[in-house]
Chains A and B, each alone.
Chain A
Amino acid sequence: MMKASSVLRAAAAIRYCLEEETVLSELISAEAKSWIGREAEPIRVEVSRRDIVKYSIATEQRQEKYLRGDEAPSMFMFGALRPVVPMDTLGPDGIAAESFLPDLPLKRVMAGGTEMTFHRPVKPGDVLIATRSLHDLIEKQGKSGPLIFVVQILRVETEAGELVLEEKQTRIFR
């Protein structure tokens, strides 16, 4: 049987959690939360040998198949899917304004992590369709203040619908 003091402690802990939850949940608005599950407009990418060769040289690849551009290194798609937008849409920091993101109260971004699953190599001539979706928005209390983890799922397929790559990317707003 639970002692009265333990019950009180447990109740206090629950109350604390609830209060924290209340405070934290104000950080991500209902409007922002409604974005979870939303999909961005798919991006179509034609993979060229020359782009693979450039990426392979810049990343100091050692395997001939990459340096010749016969196959793309695993991380090639990260660059191939970056936004290519007009100059006047770039901010003073050089970064393209992000359209596929709800309004969040925290603005500074850090790279979080990435989890990639590879299904098929990328080769020159491939025409790929990449779809990004907002998987989750998570609030956490960091050492130096509140954090919002933005988790996106990226799915890359060939035009014929063959799965190429799945990636779960986390970015941290602080």
Chain B
Amino acid sequence: MSGVNISDLNVGEALPERSHTATNVSLFLYNAAIWNPHRIHYDEPYTTNVEKHPGVVIDGPLQGDWLNQVVVNWMGESGTLIQFNYSNRRASYLGETLTSGGAITAIDTDAGLVDMEIYIKNENGDVITPGTAQVKIS
């Protein structure tokens, strides 16, 4: 993991993007790992017929984790995550490829703090899960 040096950073600088394509298997494993039996994540007939979604739903908190990884994978061992906020604004369904990324919004060199805006976008480029994070670079 490459190191991050706070004096090399600039406001507006982008964090690396990554794409995520959930599969039946990955969603099953995620919901098993978090012990989530909600049928909208694995039972397609129930999801579309009863809860009226267009498809199996990709968990909001899974997107939250991918959002979290934008920050921690960029930072590596160079710092620690202090604050992390996000909101799930729009649902996403199995078959979609989502893109995570972000950008630096503020740098406090004296305090060693870096603020960033992070996002999950769908294939149309709409931000479906926006968030913010603050890290302390050591």
Contact = CB atoms under 8 A, between A and B. Distances in A.
B34 A74 contact: no
Nearest to A74: B68
B10 interface: no
Interface stretch (A6-14, A16-24, A59-67, A130-138): A59-67
A118 B30 contact: no
Nearest to A118: B81
Contacts, number: 98
A58 B35 CA distance: 12
A57 B61 contact: no
B73 A114 contact: no
Interface of B: 1, 20, 26, 29-30, 32-40, 43, 46, 50-51, 60-62, 64-66, 68-69, 72-73, 76, 80-88
Contacts of B86: 113-114
Interface string A24-62: 000000000000000000000000000100110111111
Contact of B35 (A60, A61, A82, A93): A82
Nearest to B39: A94
Interface in A71-117: 73-75, 78-79, 82-84, 90, 93-96, 110-117
Given A75-B61, A93-B51, A114 B85 contact: yes
A103 to B, nearest CB: 21
A84 B34 CA distance: 10
A55 B59 CA distance: 14
Contact of A94 (B26, B38, B80): B38
Given A58-B30, A60-B26, A63-B73, A118 B82 contact: yes
Interface string A133-171: 000000000000000000000000000000000000010
Given A113-B86, A114-B86, A117-B83, A73 B65 contact: yes
B29 A62 contact: no
Contact of B61 (A60, A78, A90, A96): A78
A78 B69 contact: no
9 contacts: A59-B62, A59-B65, A79-B33, A94-B37, A95-B38, A111-B61, A112-B87, A115-B83, A118-B84
A62 B37 contact: no
A63 B76 contact: yes
A112 B64 CA distance: 12
Given A60-B20, A94-B37, A116 B73 contact: no
